A and B are shown apart, each in its own frame.
Chain A
Amino acid sequence: MNSSFASGLVRRWVAVFTRGLPAEVRFARSAEIDSDLWSQHEEAGSTGRSDRALAVQILVRLVLGTAADLTWRLERGRLADRSMERSTTMSMRIVALLAIVGGLGLTIGVAVFAVTFLANPDANPWVLVNDQPYGAVINVSGSAGLVAVCLSLGWLGLVLLNPPRESSIGLVAIVGAVGGLLGQVRAYAAMDLLPAASAVVVLYLARSHVVHWSLALIHVASAPGLVLLLAAYSNHALLGIGVGVQTRTQAAKNVPGTQIVNVERAEIVIMDRSQPPKAGSFSVSTRLAAIPTTSLGPLPRRGAPWPRPNSRRKKLGWSQRTTWALAARDLGYVSAGTCASRSSFAVSSWAWNCFFAIRARIGSPTLKNPPGSPSKAAITFVPPPSATKVLLSLNENGLSVVCTNRWLLSCSITSKVESTFRPRNLARDVMRVPTLTGVSDGVDSSTMEFHSGVLVGSSMYLNTSATGRLMCTEISNFTIGIQPPWCCLPGRASAFSVLRPLPAHCKQPTVA
């Protein structure tokens, strides 16, 4: 080691501990150290001191002074902070205060949630949110924190909108703040704007040297985490990302009196089929998958028929319907994007809504109801702006709950829809379906419905129509993707609407 190397160490150390200080302070200290080192070298040269001894002397001076350097850095940092504080306006103080309050609120909420979750490892974490008293703390603290953060961001946006500051960034901040506030009134999709906008704003602040880059990057990195958290919350799952693959070959049961039995899952509810599906094509379907709510009673056991309401048990039947409706609500139906639309099996424009593709290898160019089948179907529309269609159907064997995206100021409607498929009196089977948290991982849901249909021209038709009783259908499901919150909201669509009178503007059209 020579003196040049030691001098280099000193200069690098000066660069390190003066980082972040005002430029004049940083340069002054650096210049002084340079001058000192130069003088030290000069003296060593004049006195004939060896280079190694000089290097040792420099290193000793460096090491013994590091503590003083650090304390000086802290002193200088505080001075710089105080000078910045003096220069801030009242508006910026309000922004900072709101941000601090928001951070505290969120921290308390997350901490209580984490403690509660760790104490109840077997419970669904999102169920805990609704538990008392912890749930109240989590909700109140978290919501208050989020509101404060939104107000802080919005206020900052207003400040930035004033010239001569950055108006576009200010606009982004305001949009993010509004999105966050909308999320507080259950427009969860809009809440995604909050982390996105705050990330943009923080990057701008870092670029303007208002916020340190490291803090800004941490903040930006946390933004996708919040989006995934929202997705997980909407999914009633631990993760907002999941991959599931399932391939199943299902043999249909004998169905007396029918020609062809088309086996489909309830999720793949085919409404009117005015246009033939393309064999091998992908259709985005409504998915029925969730965690059963045991408190509302077990799901029907495999193969058991669902009780039917009749005149004698009408009241009980209605009660059962209600129970199932509630159960279905709590099951957390997800991805009620429009799927098999009334007009086509083409990939819906809402495909992005759920990233969930089911390749229904039905091998059939056409699907029609048997001639003479009564067809009374009602579809449910949610008023704009969501305009999300709901496609699940109901036949008299049981209740299927219509679920939908529910946006701010919209209403979701649970409708009773008579099945267009025959037979309607057989047909239930509890099955496991892939979920975003894994393949068939403790998730019971949905019913198998055995629909009658005509698979004209298909190989299956040829293979089975001779018997008129049986066919085999392979349904392969492949699930992959990130399920963003805006496609998961139907889990919170209200099945209670069954019991509520609908608002006048939500009257559903009936399609015969």
Chain B
Amino acid sequence: MEVSILEASVELARRAIPEAHGYLLAKEIRDGEGARRLTAYGTLYKALDRLERVGYLASRWEDPMVAATSSRPRRRFYRTTNVGKTALETARRGVPEASARRRPAALQT
């Protein structure tokens, strides 16, 4: 799930959406994988939390005024950090054994 989130985030960034909130990421994952269902709440936000704690994602809360103007709850936007991009590249390469031990637990799913 963590890899999927990073891929979705990177993909959105490539489409000029550098930051994405949780639902947008879930939708991107669903569309990218051709799945029928959105990622479950618990699965999605648990993975986001872990990725942020290991530094692969950075987040910020939306300006309350913006949210109030749009009459909706505040959103939390996530963006992939450089460390996260590197980790994603490593994961995509099919990691050698030595580096796998150094690979953060967040990617060992």
Contact = CB atoms under 8 A, between A and B. Distances in A.
Interface in B7-45: 21-24, 26-27, 37-45
Contacts of A75: 50
A239 interface: no
A472 B54 CA distance: 92
A457 B27 CA distance: 103
Contacts of A34: 73
Contacts of A76: 49
- Range class of the B interface residue count: 20 to 34
A38 B37 contact: no
Contact of B41 (A31, A42, A61): A61
A61 B45 CA distance: 12
A38 B35 CA distance: 21
A62 B37 contact: no
A464 B37 CA distance: 101
A29 B46 CA distance: 10
A463 interface: no
Given A31-B73, A32-B76, A36-B41, A69 B46 contact: yes
Given A35-B73, A57-B38, A72-B49, A65 B24 contact: no
A33 B21 contact: no
A199 interface: no
Contacts of B49: 72, 76
A65 B44 CA distance: 8
B23 A35 contact: yes
A459 interface: no
Contacts of B74: 31, 35
Interface in A57-104: 57, 60-72, 75-76
Interface residues of A, number: 30
A61 B40 contact: yes
Given A35-B21, A72-B49, A65 B76 contact: no
Given A32-B76, A35-B76, A65 B42 contact: yes
A26 to B, nearest CB: 13
Given A61-B38, A61-B40, A38 B45 contact: no
A50 interface: no
A23 interface: no
A175 B21 CA distance: 56
B44 to A, nearest CB: 7
Given A35-B75, A38-B72, A66 B42 contact: yes
A16 interface: no
A35 B72 contact: yes
Interface centre among A32, A61, A76 (most CB of B within 10 A): A32
A70 B42 CA distance: 8
A131 to B, nearest CB: 55
B37 A67 contact: no
Interface in A1-45: 10, 28-29, 31-36, 38-40, 42-43
A65 B74 CA distance: 22
A57 to B, nearest CB: 7
Nearest to A14: B41
A72 B46 contact: yes
Contacts of B40: 60-65, 68
A57 B42 contact: no
Nearest to B42: A65
B100 to A, nearest CB: 22
B76 A31 contact: yes
A62 B40 CA distance: 6
A33 B41 contact: yes
Given A28-B76, A35-B74, A40-B23, A61 B37 contact: yes
B46 A71 contact: yes
Interface centre among B21, B41, B61 (most CB of A within 10 A): B41
B43 A65 contact: yes
Contact of A67 (B38, B42, B72): B42
Given A65-B44, A69-B46, A35 B22 contact: yes
A39 B42 contact: no
Given A68-B47, A69-B42, 8 more contacts: A34-B73, A36-B23, A38-B72, A40-B23, A57-B37, A61-B38, A65-B40, A65-B42
8 pairs of A and B residues whose beta carbons are closest in the complex: A65-B42, A65-B40, A68-B42, A69-B42, A64-B40, A39-B23, A72-B46, A34-B73
29 contacts: A29-B45, A31-B74, A31-B76, A32-B45, A35-B21, A35-B22, A35-B23, A35-B74, A35-B75, A36-B22, A36-B23, A40-B23, A40-B38, A42-B72, A43-B23, A43-B27, A60-B37, A60-B40, A61-B39, A64-B42, A65-B39, A65-B40, A65-B41, A65-B43, A66-B42, A69-B46, A72-B45, A75-B50, A76-B49
